[in-house]
């Protein structure tokens, strides 16, 4: 039901969800614990552990459990160290035993739900599907119980909000499984719960804010609002590494790769804390978009050498091959093409897309590829100039013709020309037909967003449902999740 292994951005996005003695319905940490908590949010887990060991005996034990567990789980999610995970799992069991021996309260129910959700993400990230599903199902039940018994307890709104978003954006083909587990979700409801926590005086309100805008960007595709929200958090904490990391992702999603590169350079200047090897993958992506192919190759190679997970490595070798292909270095291009075929698995969506391209055993049209890369990065004038060099009549395959129209639509859409975008999105769907390319389903999704912006709700609903109807394409999970979330919002 869930992906067998989530990538760093997915895990961090889903995980940012965790924090007293009966401390009231808000949760405020004492100054010492707040300092440790900030170190965790800055991905400085070693420093956080030292601060936690130095806490006063008077520190609220429930608060301490939260921050300790958050710290350990974040460490495991970033490092993907299975040996470390075994130690953390033993700590989880000890904390559950402690909570079971306490009188039931909003705090104990909340912490049990949070800890189970954290365990779920750990299992998910290490490929233990069944354990992950069971832990998240348990967290869901405990969250529902806490909400029912203690409706004024604000922190549970974060746990519930995240679970609502998770379940609410699960593709339709898994709805039977959600029903079997007794789980129902709504992206809109989840956002409302996070908004309530954002507006509170809880120590968790910054986390809720980060989550809120990350959902806006990754699920709702409201990239401008999401990016502005994350950047506003950065104004208050300009060197917070977690927020910088999310800022890079949001800027790239909104085709502002040059600004994202500036944040990556800020991260380079503040290397303390957990190593963030995934940043080198993102650096490689941006440099490929810009046309700095040799620098892009170096970034991908550094990522491959240091990142412990197998995720994104098939895609990295494929992208290295593209870098050589775009420089007309065919021998090196084919060598890395073959390495990519034998590397990694098709779990993460970039790896699945790379695999679909590798199976075709041909390189893409270099000019169309450059248009795609420039457009994705926000280098629109370069994309436009390259597009003008392509003579549509010289395109030989049905896929090239469909992608050419799709790239024209995407560029027009990004540049604010929705009239032209609608024409070419529609033409793309006609040319692509039922072929297993993502051009048609994403065209339907984008037409839905355009219709929604124009307040044409019937048309929006039609296009979102059409996006869901396409089968067997590389981005089905993400496109289905976005379409389902959009339909959920239309129903509110």
Q: What is the pLDDT of residue 77?
A: 84
Q: Does residue 3 lie in a domain region? A: no
Residues 264 and 334 in one domain: no
**CATH number, position 340:** 1.25.40.10
| Residue 174 tokens, joined | 């898994």
Query: What is the rounded average pLDDT of the residues 378-404?
Result: 96
Q: What is the pLDDT of residue 215?
A: 84
Query: What is the rounded average pLDDT of the residues 75-80?
Result: 81
Residues 220 and 334 in one domain: no
Task: Please determine, for residue 4, whether its predicted confidence score (pLDDT) is greater than 50.
Answer: no
Q: What is the pLDDT of residues 16-30, one digit of tens each?
A: 544 334 455 788 999
CA-based radius of gyration for the chain:
23
Task: Please determine, for residue 385, whether its predicted confidence score (pLDDT) is greater than 50.
Answer: yes
How many domains does the chain divide into? 3
State the pTM of this model.
0.85
Task: Kindly state the helix (H) or strand (E) to which residue 214 belongs, with its residue range.
Answer: helix 205-218
Q: Which residue has the tokens 């005086």?
A: 201
Task: Please determine, for residue 9, whether its predicted confidence score (pLDDT) is greater than 60.
Answer: no
Cα 40 to Cα 240: distance, rounded to the nearest angstrom: 10
Is 178:170 a contact under the CB 8 Å cutoff?
yes
3-state secondary structure (DSSP) of residue 43: coil
Q: What is the pLDDT of residue 20?
A: 37
Q: What is the pLDDT of residue 221?
A: 73
Q: Does residue 379 lie in a domain region? A: no
> Mean pLDDT over all residues of the chain?
90
Query: What is the rounded average pLDDT of the residues 282-301?
Result: 99
Confidence tier at 179 by pLDDT (50, 70, 90): confident
Residues 359 and 453 in one domain: no
- Percentage of the chain exceeding pLDDT 90: 70
Q: Does residue 1 lie in a domain region? A: no
- Percentage of the chain exceeding pLDDT 70: 94
Give the residue, 291 or 127, on which the prediction is more confident.
291
Query: What is the rounded average pLDDT of the residues 298-321?
Result: 95
Is 295:276 a contact under the CB 8 Å cutoff?
no
Residues 232 and 203 in one domain: yes
Cα 292 to Cα 357: distance, rounded to the nearest angstrom: 22
Query: What is the rounded average pLDDT of the residues 290-297?
Result: 98
Residues 318 and 422 in one domain: no
Is 15:158 a contact under the CB 8 Å cutoff?
no
Cα 83 to Cα 78: distance, rounded to the nearest angstrom: 13
Q: What is the pLDDT of residue 15?
A: 54
Residues 197 and 310 in one domain: no
Q: Which residue has the tokens 């809720």?
A: 208
Query: What is the rounded average pLDDT of the residues 158-179?
Result: 79
Q: What is the pLDDT of residue 322?
A: 98
Q: Does residue 259 lie in a domain region? A: yes
Residues 307 and 417 in one domain: no
Q: What is the pLDDT of residue 216?
A: 84
Q: What is the pLDDT of residues 217-235, one digit of tens each?
A: 877 778 888 899 999 999 9
Residues 13 and 154 in one domain: yes
Query: What is the rounded average pLDDT of the residues 60-89?
Result: 88
Residues 74 and 206 in one domain: yes
Q: Does residue 105 lie in a domain region? A: yes
Query: What is the rounded average pLDDT of the residues 92-109?
Result: 96
Cα 441 to Cα 452: distance, rounded to the nearest angstrom: 17
Query: What is the rounded average pLDDT of the residues 312-320?
Result: 97
Q: What is the pLDDT of residues 431-477, one digit of tens each?
A: 999 999 999 999 999 999 999 999 999 999 999 999 999 998 888 88
Residues 24 and 153 in one domain: yes
Query: What is the rounded average pLDDT of the residues 90-107?
Result: 96
**CATH number, position 122:** 1.25.40
Task: Please determine, for residue 346, whether its predicted confidence score (pLDDT) is greater than 90.
Answer: no
Lowest mean pLDDT among 161-175, 258-272, 317-331, 332-346: 161-175
Q: What is the pLDDT of residue 13?
A: 56
Q: Does residue 128 lie in a domain region? A: yes
Task: Please determine, for residue 12, whether its predicted confidence score (pLDDT) is greater than 60.
Answer: no
Confidence tier at 172 by pLDDT (50, 70, 90): low
Q: What is the pLDDT of residue 240?
A: 92
Query: What is the rounded average pLDDT of the residues 137-153?
Result: 96
Residues 301 and 246 in one domain: no
Q: What is the pLDDT of residues 149-165, one digit of tens each?
A: 999 999 999 999 989 98
Query: What is the rounded average pLDDT of the residues 280-293?
Result: 98
Residues 325 and 410 in one domain: no
Cα 45 to Cα 47: distance, rounded to the nearest angstrom: 5
Task: Please determine, for residue 279, whether its predicted confidence score (pLDDT) is greater than 50.
Answer: yes
Indicate the angle between helix axes 257-269 and 278-290, nearest 10 degrees: 140
Region of residue 255 (phi > 0: left; psi between -120 and 50: alpha; otherwise: beta): left
* Domain carrying residue 344: 277-363
């Amino acid at each position: 039901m869930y992906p067998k292994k989530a990538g760093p951005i997915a895990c961090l996005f889903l995980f940012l969800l965790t924090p007293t003695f009966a401390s009231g319905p808000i949760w405020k940490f004492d100054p010492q614990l707040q300092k440790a908590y900030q170190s965790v949010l800055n991905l400085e887990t070693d420093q956080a552990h030292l601060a936690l060991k130095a806490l006063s005996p008077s520190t609220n034990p429930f608060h301490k459990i939260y921050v300790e567990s958050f710290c350990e789980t974040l460490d495991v999610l970033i490092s993907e160290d299975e040996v470390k995970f075994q130690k953390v799992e033993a700590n989880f069991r000890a904390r559950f035993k402690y909570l079971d021996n306490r009188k039931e309260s909003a705090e104990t129910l909340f912490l049990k739900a949070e800890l189970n959700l954290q365990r779920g993400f750990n299992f998910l990230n290490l490929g233990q599907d069944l354990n992950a599903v069971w832990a998240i199902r348990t967290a869901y039940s405990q969250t529902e119980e806490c909400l029912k018994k203690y409706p004024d307890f604000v922190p549970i709104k974060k746990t519930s909000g995240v679970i609502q978003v998770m379940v609410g954006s699960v593709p339709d083909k898994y709805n039977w499984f959600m029903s079997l587990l007794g789980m129902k979700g709504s992206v809109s409801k989840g956002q409302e719960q996070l908004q309530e926590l954002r507006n509170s005086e809880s120590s968790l309100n910054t986390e809720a804010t980060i989550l809120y805008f990350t959902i806006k960007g990754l699920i709702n595709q409201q990239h401008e609002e999401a990016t502005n929200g994350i950047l506003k958090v950065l104004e208050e904490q300009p060197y917070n590494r977690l927020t910088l990391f999310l800022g890079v992702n949001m800027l790239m999603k909104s085709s502002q790769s040059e600004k994202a590169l500036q944040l990556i350079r800020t991260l380079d200047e503040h290397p303390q804390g957990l190593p963030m090897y995934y940043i080198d993958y993102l650096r490689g992506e941006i440099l490929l978009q810009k046309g700095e192919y040799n620098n892009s190759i170096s970034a991908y190679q550094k990522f491959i050498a240091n990142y412990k997970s197998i995720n994104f490595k098939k895609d990295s070798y494929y992208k290295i091959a593209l870098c050589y292909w775009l420089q007309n270095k065919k021998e090196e291009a084919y060598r890395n093409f073959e390495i990519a075929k034998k590397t990694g698995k098709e779990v993460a969506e970039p790896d699945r897309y790379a695999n679909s391209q590798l199976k075709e055993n041909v390189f893409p049209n270099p000019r169309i590829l450059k248009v795609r890369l420039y457009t994705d990065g926000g280098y629109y004038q370069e994309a436009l100039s390259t597009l003008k060099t392509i003579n549509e009549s010289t395109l030989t395959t049905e896929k090239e013709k469909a992608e050419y129209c799709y790239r024209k639509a995407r560029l027009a859409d990004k540049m604010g020309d929705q009239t032209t975008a609608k024409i070419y999105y529609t033409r793309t769907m006609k040319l692509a037909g039922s072929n297993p390319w993502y051009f048609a389903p994403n065209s339907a999704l984008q037409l839905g967003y355009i219709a929604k912006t124009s307040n044409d709700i019937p048309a929006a609903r039609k296009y979102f449902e059409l996006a869901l109807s396409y089968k067997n394409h590389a981005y089905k999970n993400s496109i289905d999740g976005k379409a389902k979330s959009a339909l959920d919002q239309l129903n509110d």
